[in-house]
Structure 1
Amino acid sequence: MQRQTESRGSSLETKSSPITPSQPNFPKFSFAVITVNSKGEEVTRETQEAEYFAEDLGNDVSLEMVSIPGGIFWMGTDDAEIERLVKKFDWDGYRREKPQHQVTVPPFSMGKYPVTQAQWKAIAALDKIDIDLELDPSNFKGDQRPVETVNWYECVEFCKRLSQRTGKQYRLPSEAQWEYACRSVNSEQLTVNSEGLTLAQWNEKYHQPFHFGQTITGDLANYRATYTFADEPKGQYRKETTSVGQFPPNAFGLYDMHGNVWEWCADEWHKNYQNAPSDGSIWLNGDNNRSPLRGGSWNYNPFNCRSAYRNSFDAREDRNYLNGCRVVCVFGSE
């Protein structure tokens, strides 16, 4: 996992630390983790390893699940950064990301990629549990592109059928699981007192807007790169989804966490984090007609693809060619 050792605005140095296995005897895969400065210039490249397992969905289609170690993190965005974003981008929706709060997340596994169209077809062909599923709902066709034009209820049905087929417990991620997995910062960095840091100092040192660091570029993710977040150059606006895994992963080995498609979360929508759970669980008792969407999409500006950004523009029953999903697998009871 990535361990950052210098403050924002200076060159970054990283060290590797081992990922704690969440389940025994899983194989590992290697990948390169990249960090960039505010100009989008690569400042570090480190080889990391993560554990995973694969589900055979039939017809040469598999689903790779990456082990995510448990840990503690600060969810959301600090007040000073929120006000900076509100002023810079002239939108008060960033206040949904407050108050910043500490969350303890147990180990789980998460899809290495957003659910692909091939994976969707394989599971949608199985027997119905609650609702019907279209085999091929997506606007942008391609087996290795993410599935989109699927609503929240259809993604939940996908998880139920996948669970029934595999005998494991699959579901959509909680919003806390999603943000923790996206940030992919290890627990050593998350205890403010371990280095004698104030929370403000810790935010400056570790709480970057993107898992890549201070910004993103069109070479790192699929989004509307004709807009910029920091001092990076403008890039390509592709105007469509791209096949999963084309861009570098984060420090947990997850791909496409920024851009490509918005990803549905399991929680009910809450307008901010007042009284949010601190255990990484699914947050209910909110607006049960809406759920958070995370990660941004091919059609969105970089400031809305940040790790902390929360969206609720679609009701649960709405289908949109910007929206897809990613699954998690939890071991034991929740």
Structure 2
Amino acid sequence: MKNIFISISIFIVVITNWHCSTQKLKETEIHNSERRVIEDMIFVEGGTFEMGSKDGESDEKPVHNVELDDFYISKYEVTQNEWQEVMGNNPSLFLGDYLPVEKVSWNDIQEFLQILNAKIGGNYRLPTEAEWEYAARGGNKYSDYKYSGSNNIDEVAWYDGNSGNKTHRVGIKKANGLGIYDMTGNVWEWCSDWYGENYYSESSSSNPQGPSNGTYRVLRGGSCV
């Protein structure tokens, strides 16, 4: 969905050698918000999990085994302050430095990541849908919940029943077992994959990247409205 402009934000992911590249930078070369992007990364140990839902929509079936390598993912949705320092603008409807940035297209995010990577010598990208789901489930250690981190949606999510139809500061609700916040609710999150209605039935079992082409990109997570 490259041109959609609703309440959509991002988590960012980087492969496991990210510490090596960022250690070379001098402190003065990184703005405070860019430093927070670097520091607020959670290590996710790879493993095998069952992706999909037996009770979900047709495009969430079949449930299938997926194996993933280790990766890091940001513990928070990217904030407006972080976006502003990288991009020099803030497209969000609900304004606040520590609210998640929203009203950003998939292409906007590719530009954000390109500039961020150039500034800090990083290798940041969007998560694949499989990485997103695995992280939301809490990896293999904390996966027995209906929502990301709890069976009680009010503990972990801003949604239409408690949000007042607006976004909220990142990290207020309970984190999941890995220490990642707001993976249920607040704003939808982009993934790197093209969307394919029947992709789960033909997906690779090892580090799937999504269909090779498509019309729309994958969104996950739900929102506050």
Q: TM-score range by the shorter chain?
A: 0.7 to 0.9
Residue 214 of structure 1 corresponds to 151
Q: Do residues 292 (structure 1) and 218 (structure 2) align?
A: yes
- Summarize deviations over 1:149-201 as a string: whole Å, max 9, x none: 000000111111111112121111100000000001426x8xxxxxxxxxxxx
Q: Do residues 119 (structure 1) and 46 (structure 2) align?
A: no
What is the letter of the counterpart of residue 66 of structure 1?
I
Q: Do residues 250 (structure 1) and 185 (structure 2) align?
A: no
Q: Give the conservation status (yes or no) of the 8 Å contact 1:260–1:298.
A: yes
| Cα 1:24/1:138, change in 2 over 3 Å | closer
Aligned pair partner of 1:163 in 117, 120, 139:
117
Deviation beyond 6 Å, 4+ runs, structure 1: 23-26
Q: Do residues 181 (structure 1) and 135 (structure 2) align?
A: yes
Give, in whole Å, the separation in 1 of the partners of 2:177 and 2:30.
27
Q: 1:1-334 counterparts in 2 under 5 A?
A: 57-59=30-32, 62-63=36-37, 64-78=40-54, 81-82=55-56, 94-125=57-88, 135-186=89-140, 207-217=144-154, 219-225=155-161, 236-272=162-198, 273-287=200-214, 289-299=215-225
| Cα 1:74/1:169, change in 2 over 3 Å | same
What is the letter of the counterpart of residue 201 of structure 2?
Q
TM-score, normalised by the number of residues in structure 1: 0.55
Alignment size in residue pairs: 199
Q: Give the conservation status (yes or no) of the 8 Å contact 1:70–1:107.
A: yes
Identity of paired residues, percent? 37
What are structure 2's unaligned runs of at least 5 residues? 1-15, 21-26
Bigger strand share: 1
Give, in whole Å, the separation in 1 of the partners of 2:112 and 2:171.
21
What is the letter of the counterpart of residue 178 of structure 1?
W
What are structure 1's unaligned runs of at least 5 residues? 1-21, 27-54, 83-93, 126-134, 190-205, 226-235, 300-334
| Cα 1:60/1:73, change in 2 over 3 Å | closer
Residue 199 of structure 1 corresponds to none
Larger RCO, structures 1/2 (Cα 8 Å, 6+ apart)? 2
Larger gyration radius, structure 1 or structure 2? 1
Bigger helix share: 2
What is the letter of the counterpart of residue 293 of structure 1?
L
CA-CA distance at 1:212 after TM superposition: 2.9
What is the letter of the counterpart of residue 73 of structure 2?
M
Residue 13 of structure 2 corresponds to none
| RMSD of equivalent CA atoms | 2.4
| Cα 1:286/1:25, change in 2 over 3 Å | closer
